[in-house]
Amino acid sequence: MRIVAAQHFPRLEAELKEKAIACKEKKAREAIVKREAALEKAAKREAKLQAKLELEKEGVVIEDDDSESEDETEHTPENRVEMYKEIAEEKAEKEAREKEREPKKRDYELEQLAAIERTRKNEEEGKIRQCNEGKWVFNFDETSKKAHVILDISIPKFLDSSLVDVDIHPNYVSVVIKSKVLRLNLPAEVDSSNSTAARSKTTGHLVLSMPKIHPDENSLSMRVNARDKIKAQEEKKKNEELKMKQRDLQKISGQMQAEAFKARKPTGGSVKLKGLVPVRKGGIASTDQSGSMKVVSSKVLSSNTSTSSAVLPPVPPTSVPKEGGAQDHEEEGEEEDIDENEPPPLF
């Protein structure tokens, strides 16, 4: 295309120059005509003004006629015809622009015949290459019908069959669908004279049934493909079963958790702090009814450790003491269990 454009460029450039010169001359002529018309109007206006002045000198009063305008033209048949011609030209230009914007009508039958002729001519010359210009979806099948190669091409259901042309060869098949070429190599050598082509009434697919010349051709690959297909189906089934089991386990665990949550007894009430932290570990000493308090030894972490007594402030009793001072005896027993050789606490 670039070479063709370079060849035509000088001629087009000369034509454009001639048109530009003609356009300039036309504009110059129009400017001259407009200038002459303006001069004529100015002369008429000046003559009218002089006549008005002469009449005023004589004492005649003339009222100004503002209805006339400089842009007004004479009401003559010639002017009206010229005006209508201009309106018709503007209308024709507008229709031409709208027509250019409209989509062009295509003749699909002529395009199909031209594509068939071009394709068959290339095949006769030996230019055979696989192609799929229309991006059609196709599928080969050698297992559904014994000793046959089935080619299923997905084409639109409402596509007219007159726009489909099929040419089957022993090693390849060529199909022209709506001026788009689909050429495929066959997996086995076929008998083109006994092959059939049909369209499905439900889906509109094009189905080509081609008998093999050697029925056992590709038998090993067919068995391998069938075995792989069975394996894939089994794996898919196992994965589905495993997913079902996992879903069931999740459901059972959820039910068990719900039952355990329902069976759990609610906790509430006061909590006794006595016994949680022993006194020798830094616990708080309790007081008796008389309000007296006990002294608890505290140990400090340092290089020179020494025991010192600390008096804690009185703490209100957390529970009612037992009769006979049983609570005091228990606390004294806890204090007696303190081992002096025990290492100092960390807290």
Q: How confident is the model at residue 256 (pLDDT cuts 50, 70, 90)?
A: confident
Order of all β-strands in the sheet with 172-177: 131-132, 180-185, 172-177, 164-168
Counting Cβ atoms within 10 Å, is residue 182 exposed (0-12), middle (13-18) or buried (19+)?
Answer: buried
Q: Which residues pair with 153 in a beta bridge?
A: 138, 206
Query: Half-sphere exposure of 284 toward its Cβ, with a 13 Å CA cutoff?
Result: 11
Q: Which has more pLDDT, 196 or 126?
A: 196
Over residues 311-327, the mean pLDDT reads 47
**Which pLDDT score is estimated for 265?**
59
Output 24-33 pairs: Cβ under 8 A, ≥24 positions apart.
Answer: none
What are the pLDDT digits (tens) for 79-119? 788 888 999 999 999 999 888 888 878 888 888 999 999 99
Q: Is the pLDDT of residue 257 over 90?
A: no
Percent of the chain clearing pLDDT 90 (strictly above): 23
Average pLDDT of every residue of the chain: 77
What are the pLDDT digits (tens) for 26-79? 888 888 888 888 888 888 888 888 887 887 777 666 655 554 444 556 677 777
Q: Cα separation of 82 and 69, whole Å?
A: 20
**Which pLDDT score is estimated for 218?**
75
User: Using DSSP, how many helices (H) and how many strands (E) does the chain show?
Assistant: 5, 10
State phi, psi for 243 to the nearest 5 degrees: -65, -40
Q: Is the pLDDT of residue 126 over 90?
A: no
What are the pLDDT digits (tens) for 190-216? 998 999 999 988 899 999 999 999 888
**Between the CA of residue 217 and those of 141, 149, 211, 243, what are the distances in Å?**
14, 11, 11, 41
pTM score: 0.41
Q: Which has more pLDDT, 259 or 278?
A: 259
Q: How confident is the model at residue 152 (pLDDT cuts 50, 70, 90)?
A: very high
Q: Is the pLDDT of residue 340 over 60?
A: no
